[in-house]
């Protein structure tokens, strides 16, 4: 039996799309890791992942429409096992706007695997 997760602020376990994320507050969402940033060894440890909506992986590459993104930052980590470009994540945490991006520091996360029949 899977552990019971706390309900989102709206009272449901339905993930909030990245494009509909509030400016502040606790959120439960998910998406694909678009890019990661690893800081140099001379800086304090920090691992950053930019996450897009799940539908963003299938968008038209010629589209000029901006893509909603959220920044996930793990402070004190040089890397987070399993989190790399293309990985699908579900995550939860307190969101705030930093440098015009919604940002979640030290989020709870879960790596979502593909079904075996997909390649």
Convert the pLDDT of each residue in 91-108 to its tens digit: 999 999 999 899 999 999
**Overall residue count recorded for the chain in this entry:** 119
The whole-number pLDDT of residue 28 equals: 95
Q: What is the pLDDT of residue 10?
A: 45
pLDDT number for residue 74? 97
pLDDT score of 59 more than 80: no
Mean of the per-residue pLDDT values for the chain? 83
More confident residue, 60 or 51: 51
Instruction: Output the pTM of the full model.
Output: 0.79
Q: 3-class DSSP state for residue 57?
A: helix
Q: Is the pLDDT of residue 51 over 90?
A: yes
Checking DSSP bridges between strand 88-98 and strand 25-38, what pairing results, if any? antiparallel
What's CA 87's distance to the chain center, in Å? 10
């Amino acid at each position: 039996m899977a552990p019971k997760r706390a309900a989102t602020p709206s009272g449901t376990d339905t993930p909030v799309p990245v494009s509909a994320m509030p400016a502040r507050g606790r959120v439960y969402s998910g998406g694909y890791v678009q890019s990661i940033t690893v800081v140099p060894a001379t800086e304090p440890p920090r691992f950053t992942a930019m996450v897009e909506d799940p539908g963003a992986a299938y968008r038209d590459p010629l589209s000029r429409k901006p893509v909603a993104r959220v920044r996930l930052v793990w402070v004190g980590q040089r890397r987070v096992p399993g989190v790399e470009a293309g990985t699908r994540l579900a995550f939860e945490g307190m969101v705030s706007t930093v440098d015009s991006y919604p940002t979640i520091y030290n989020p709870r996360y879960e790596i979502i695997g593909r079904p075996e029949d997909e390649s």
